[in-house]
Structure 1
């Protein structure tokens, strides 16, 4: 029997690779002769770079770049084993986690470091870049990133402007003469799971600005700045993309990726599944086991479990889901293509205890589900 293990992380307790180890132990207890393949997954957010780098047998590279406030830091990205693809998370250089709570201010932050990581990867000779844009500390529409790539931004007096969210409103023209020519020769794919437009009540500033330290006045100022750069960019590139779903992601970096990187925006889990060639393994599998910390309605709209369920349905392979919290009905599970779903909690317990015992809980739940699926072979 061929069993594919392909989970997301259990946030706060287990990384996806640790879930794979725990599930493997549970399978071995129930069915020692099973052929097991483990492919840790992610939805394009935190941890995606590590998973894709390790799955491609690649290496990690450290670069000195600017953090969201312009200080020098070390940031890591991955390069595939064949050297052709770079895996970059913008949060490594421009993430909210790099700032103390009192430093969070999207009027002052920028994505310069993300652009520097891209340049570093280009210098390494890659032909493709996969860019995850979750966890940003910025609302600069990729202004900083573009500056690192050679774009120049000028005010009404034709003076060059330095990157910062507060300076978006001052931009009157964008010069592209000095842009790194390798950008157009590189396939750049952005993992983007949100559908927000660039500006307005559903845009980057209003929806995500407060999470990055913006008060109501700052949100209004940032939204005005996003509207301004959209106007200037539309004139520069002969296209208004401000209403394209996802352009509001990561403080407008979704829009910046389209303008300045000529990138495509794709669902994160789809990118990860494509890069790990997971469909080929699904087609061979007798059972696929996945999981994440909580399975709820959100899980069924673009997350790892939903993406796998679609693949398993189309290939007529049963999908079992182990999770900490199970919040979908049997009808929802059936409609989503989930064959079997179970919470790993085996008794009343606190969240703290559940997180501490997550490894053994996942292992034991897996043992029982594999015994159920393959009872004829485990007698």
Structure 2
């Protein structure tokens, strides 16, 4: 018998590698002659870099950045010098796993730490950046990332705002640095398997903000804020389709990547299955059972 295991992580309890180990032990205890094949899966969220690193020998680049609440931390991303491609996992600097349950406060969190990582990759010469979305502690519409890469978010008095969830509704104008910015020659790719729009009953706030610490009134405020941001982006920059499936990923980070950096959206699981060459595995090994 041939069995293929394709688990993602069990969020909050097991990494994908640990799921594989547990399943393998159980299968072999009852059927010792079973041939077990494995593929690490990730939808672009937690474990994205672990999965990429499993299939590609890449450089690990350490960066001093900040967590969702602005505290200094060390994190990393992966870099392919040959193809000048960086792989960044949003959860490594802006993730919910970086905060204790008592610290969850989506009104005060930002993706700025992920922006610092992206800027580092751009300055190192990256021409393509793949950003795995998911597991975020944020709902800032990607403003945090954008603020590191040349954008300023201003209130009605022209004061620069902190790029946090509660300030979405206070954005009156968006400015971008003049001249050719380094990232303008970079291709951005948002990797995720979320189909939610930016706002509305199926949007980022209503579906995901509760697990990030928001109460019902805050969820309504965040949803209104995301809708407001999209209106300002449209009027100021002429970009952004807030109802495009997937824009709600990672608290609207996917929307921000699309609106501010013209990012392409790709399916996380399709991307990683291609990397793992799963089609060839299925054809060559004649698998009897798949567990996922």
TM-score range, shorter chain: 0.7 to 0.9
Matches within 5 A, 1:1-379: 7-9=6-8, 11=10, 12-13=13-14, 15-16=16-17, 19=20, 30=33, 39-80=39-80, 82=82, 84-178=84-178, 181-283=181-283, 285-288=284-287, 320-322=289-291
Unaligned runs of 5+ in 1: 289-318, 324-379
Q: Alpha-carbon deviations, 1:315-357, whole Å to 9, x = none? A: xxxx52136xxxxxxxxxxxxxxxxxxxxxxxxxxxxxxxxxx
Bigger Rg over Cα = 1
Offset of residue 239 of structure 1: 3.5
Aligned CA RMSD, in angstroms, stands at 2.9
Q: Contact 1:83/1:125 (CA < 8 Å) preserved in 2?
A: no
Q: Alpha-carbon deviations, 1:121-147, whole Å to 9, x = none? A: 112322222111111111100011100
Instruction: Determine the C-alpha separation between the residues in 1 that align with 2:124 and 2:37.
Output: 31
Instruction: Determine the C-alpha separation between the residues in 2 that align with 1:226 and 1:239.
Output: 15
Q: Contact 1:9/1:19 (CA < 8 Å) preserved in 2?
A: no
Give the direction of change, closer, same or farther, for the CA distance of 1:180–1:75 in structure 2 (3 Å limit): farther
Give the direction of change, closer, same or farther, for the CA distance of 1:13–1:99 in structure 2 (3 Å limit): closer
Give the direction of change, closer, same or farther, for the CA distance of 1:125–1:39 in structure 2 (3 Å limit): farther
Give the direction of change, closer, same or farther, for the CA distance of 1:199–1:47 in structure 2 (3 Å limit): same
Give the direction of change, closer, same or farther, for the CA distance of 1:17–1:277 in structure 2 (3 Å limit): farther
Q: Alpha-carbon deviations, 1:43-94, whole Å to 9, x = none? A: 3222121121231111222111111111111112112373522211111101
Q: Contact 1:184/1:262 (CA < 8 Å) preserved in 2?
A: no
Q: Contact 2:86/2:126 (CA < 8 Å) preserved in 1?
A: yes
Q: Alpha-carbon deviations, 1:200-233, whole Å to 9, x = none? A: 2221112211111111221122122111110011
Match of 1:295 in 2: none
Instruction: Determine the C-alpha separation between the residues in 2 that align with 1:208 and 1:192.
Output: 15
SS of the residue corresponding to residue 184 of structure 1 reads helix
SS of the residue corresponding to residue 195 of structure 1 reads coil
Instruction: Determine the C-alpha separation between the residues in 1 that align with 2:217 and 2:240.
Output: 26
Q: More deviation in 220-229 or 80-89?
A: 80-89
Q: Contact 1:58/1:80 (CA < 8 Å) preserved in 2?
A: yes
Give the direction of change, closer, same or farther, for the CA distance of 1:149–1:81 in structure 2 (3 Å limit): closer
Unaligned runs of 5+ in 2: none
SS of the residue corresponding to residue 242 of structure 2 reads coil
Instruction: Determine the C-alpha separation between the residues in 2 that align with 1:107 and 1:222.
Output: 8
Give the direction of change, closer, same or farther, for the CA distance of 1:156–1:40 in structure 2 (3 Å limit): same
SS of the residue corresponding to residue 226 of structure 2 reads helix
SS of the residue corresponding to residue 65 of structure 2 reads strand
Q: How many residue pairs end up in the alignment?
A: 287
Relative to the length of structure 1, the TM-score reads 0.68
Offset of residue 187 of structure 1: 2.2
Give the direction of change, closer, same or farther, for the CA distance of 1:59–1:4 in structure 2 (3 Å limit): farther
